[in-house]
Amino acid sequence: MKKTSYRYLIILLMGLFRQTAYGMEFYISPKGNDLYPGTRQLPFATIAHARDAVRKWNRLHGNEQITIWMFGGEYHLSETVVFGLQDQAKHGQTISYSAIPGQKPVINSDIPVTGWKKVNYTLTGLPVNALGKVWVVSVPETVKDFKTLFTTSGMLPRAKTRVIAHLRKSDDWMGTLEMHHTIPFIKETVTCLFNPSHAEIVVIPAAPWTMNILPVQRVDSLTGMVYLGANSTYALAAPRYYMGPDAIWVENTFAGLDTAGKWVFDKAKRRLYYWPVDDQKPGNDIVIPNLIEMIRVEGKIDEKGAIDIPVLGLAFKGLTFSHGDRFESAGLTGMCLQHDWEKYDATTALVRFRGAENCIVEDCFFINSGGAGIRMDLYAQNNHIENNVFSELGGTAILLAGYGPGTKDVNKKNTISNNSIQYIGRLWWHATGIWAWQSGQNIISHNTICHVPYDAITITGRINWDKSGKQECSQTIRWSETGSFNGKEIWEEREQFLHSRENVIEANDIHDVMEIMQDGNGIYISGAGRGNRVTGNFLHDTPIMAAGEAIRCDDDQHDCTISNNIIFRYGTHGIGICSKGRNNIFNNIIASPPYRVINGMIAIEPEKSNGCSGSKVMHNILYGTTKNQPFQLRQGLGCVDADFNIYFNTSDTSSANEYLQWAHLQGIEENSKQADPLFADPANGDFRLHSNSPALVLGFKTFEFKPGRIIK
């Protein structure tokens, strides 16, 4: 009998003696051995081996629960652990990979860096203040190219330099097709700015809602032209009027190695350079990430067909995932998601589900990584992501991404609840906290989201309907299913192909968002299907100038309901609730936001004539505190049904009366009033209503905000 067969026979026999309340149990430990039988006393060493042992056990037994208990410590992966159909649970069964209570299993792909030596040769472009302070180590050919570097304290910053002053103005170049993959620099600067050769340009192009990280392909030292290895989403030549000089820089260049703590990787020479913070020899805690993706659950995916077969019933509980690498550039390829914020059906996250149903991620930590936290691609139904922490990630925390527009609608009915999301988008500034793209009927509730560079929650399906496949997202469209559609049809006709419908975004606590990028929102819905509900959320304390709307139904969006939300001290430069389509705004409290004068607390901005016709704006309380603070942006109000609202400004009572006089001439707001709503303590965010509140007389329904996991 072969040794492997003998070992599994032992496992099967020992299983007779370890049936517990948890069902069948296996154990894994970093100090274990895959030759052991996987008991608590003699645990396995690797997740992959435990998976294989469970696979064999489950094939021969009933559907009792199976728990793979993981001891604390670090599990270093050399390749992604993939769970397929042969690893799924049976009907009524769950197979759980769980931390032993009180212990912390950490899953990463660390490769330790050792053998540092002081640099004793010239590095072209290195700033004078770095001379004599940089260390170097050779990186073996077996180590993949990497974009991030970590210590026990977190991600180390890669060398970057502000280079906007080095850009050359060129009127004959601007406006050409080359403006997406070339940038003209002053020729005298390119030699030092782009050494070593594998530098990347990080840029906010013409639009302030997208960031591109683009590889430098080659540099022409005679002309100063820099040729890029990927196209930017928007024109590089256009003025970056929102972001200013912070909108473009070069990374992984010696010219950017100007302060302690930064590093550079010379891929051609396989050398890693680092300037230690304490000017001492680097310690042994610096590690290179070997992988982007640690765990993948993958069913049988038929991308062009109608039927996928998902993996069922896997659970991951109490685990920590960390130190994943950053994914490659996401520019204009036609195979990305809206505005190239993420890649379509790609390896970008620590944990990925690609064809999964009834799977669970619970009480886990996703921290200190270069990409996203979790993504659920293509087929994903009835999965639960609950009670997890996402922090210090390079990209999005949680992404649900179904198939592109077409009739195949299989990414839906998932629950994302009670998660703590903060300090994400550290590398990709356009990253959002939670994003459902072409994914519907999900519950996104009781999450706390803060300190993100862009949106907190995004529900979208925006597509450029371009059959050539050159424009944003256009290659994701399932043209064989959309028939003669070309994208010029009205939303009501195209909605059948837009599957981000009937999502419930409820009771989320959102604050300190939009910290870097512009033209974004707290909760954003655009180009999605019908029936999305935004209800009972608390959006507050976001003083950033860049903050746009707290809640926004943007272009190509209809049939949403926005109700029972509290918006308090949100933004200095935008609108409380904005709607560009036929959407309903009921029973919300918008209080004390110091908006600029030209905007209002609620704005109806039809994207076309009568585009908001049929909308209702009713039973809302709009509460201002500063003079000249408008309540409504009036340009689109004439086509909506607005009534039974309360307007009040503690510093300027005349402003509400002036607005209502105008509204009456438009035939709206006939029953609305200028009156103090009688909040309990509005200055401190207590919006309970006194029993004599005039809002109650007009039909306002009281509600209580119940937050989820609190970020301390």
Q: Which residues contact 257 (CB under 8 A, 6 or more apart)?
A: 123, 126, 127, 130, 134, 159, 263, 264, 273, 275
Q: What mean pLDDT is predicted for residues 224-252?
A: 77
C-beta neighbour count of 453 within 10 angstroms: 23
Q: Which residues contact 296 (CB under 8 A, 6 or more apart)?
A: 80, 81, 82, 83, 351, 352, 353, 354
Q: What mean pLDDT is predicted for residues 258-263?
A: 95
pLDDT number for residue 498: 96
pLDDT number for residue 17: 42
Res 545 pLDDT > 90:
no
pTM of structure: 0.94
- State phi, psi for 410 to the nearest 5 degrees: -130, 10
- What angle, rounded to 10 degrees, do the helices at 47-60 and 3-15 form? 70
pLDDT number for residue 708: 59
Whether 363 contacts 503, CB under 8 Å: no
Res 237 pLDDT > 70:
no
**In the chain, where are the structural domains located?**
3-107
Q: Which of 35-49, 190-204, 314-328, 423-437 has the lowest mean pLDDT?
A: 190-204
DSSP 684: G
For 366-399, write each residue's pLDDT tens digit: 999 999 999 999 999 999 999 999 999 999 999 9
Share of the chain above pLDDT 70, in %: 89
CA distances from 84 to 96, 223, 313, 380 (A): 15, 53, 11, 14
3-state secondary structure of 129: helix
Res 697 pLDDT > 60:
yes
Res 10 pLDDT > 80:
no
Strands 547-553, 520-526: parallel, antiparallel or unpaired by DSSP? parallel
**Cis peptide bond upstream of 196, omega within 30:** yes
Looking up tokens 């050359």 gives 168
